[in-house]
Amino acid sequence: MQSHLRSIQLEMQTRQGVGCLNHTLRAFVASWFKFPGSESPEIYNRNTVAASPTISPETRIAMDPIALILGTAFTLVGAVIILICIPLTRGRIPRNSFFGVRLPTSLRSDAAWYAINRFGGRRLIAWSVPVILLGTLAFFLPLQPHPRLALTLAGVQVLFVLIPVVETLRYARRFKNRA
């Protein structure tokens, strides 16, 4: 691990200009996860931005478009879920048929509505944090040359949204049995 970090530090010291941090992070992620074909920066040569007189082509590396799209989408989805769930956790949304956890159990009484929506909102917020973190990580992964990795990342994101839904359904069932 020490030699690996040292080689990254040396590479960072030898490269100058725009794209240095992006290239170093990509090199670190590629070597850490050992993606086939991504051990060297040559895989990104097809994405290399036109050279400028001051910056060498090896230094300027364009962002992977798939990583940019998925990273942005996952990060925004996680942030929107958090923003939508804040009023639910604070108990500011009255019983209605449009917004919130609308189950027969939660629509029976105001107490059930607020308790189930608070629980569901908290669970969605808690599981949105890994969605945002994986979305941020997606910016630095080589997703265009590795479509299976992109699909796996998308599947994990869907799982991170379905888990709190199942937890909320189980809580509503327990709440129904308590009442």
pLDDT digits (tens, 9 = 90+) for 25-69: 566 555 555 545 444 444 444 444 444 455 555 555 567 899 999
Q: Do 107 and 72 have their domain in common?
A: yes
Q: Do 43 and 96 have their domain in common?
A: no
Report pLDDT for 25. 59
Average pLDDT over residues 144-169: 94
Q: Do 16 and 89 have their domain in common?
A: no
Say whether 134 sits in a helix, a strand or coil: helix
In-domain check, residue 36: yes
Q: Do 70 and 39 have their domain in common?
A: no
Report pLDDT for 52. 45
Residue 4 structure tokens: 């690996």
Domain enclosing residue 39, as ranges: 2-47
Q: Taking 50 as the threshold, does the pLDDT of residue 86 lie above it?
A: yes
Q: Do 83 and 154 have their domain in common?
A: yes
Integer-rounded Cα radius of gyration of the chain: 22
pTM for the complete prediction?
A: 0.66
CA gap 44, 60 in Å, rounded: 10
Q: Do 137 and 91 have their domain in common?
A: yes
76, 84 Cβ separation under 8 angstroms = no
| Helix (H) and strand (E) counts in the chain | 5, 0
91-119 per-position pLDDT tens digit: 999 999 899 999 999 999 999 999 999 99
Q: Do 33 and 117 have their domain in common?
A: no
How many independent structural domains does the chain possess? Answer: 2
Q: Do 160 and 102 have their domain in common?
A: yes
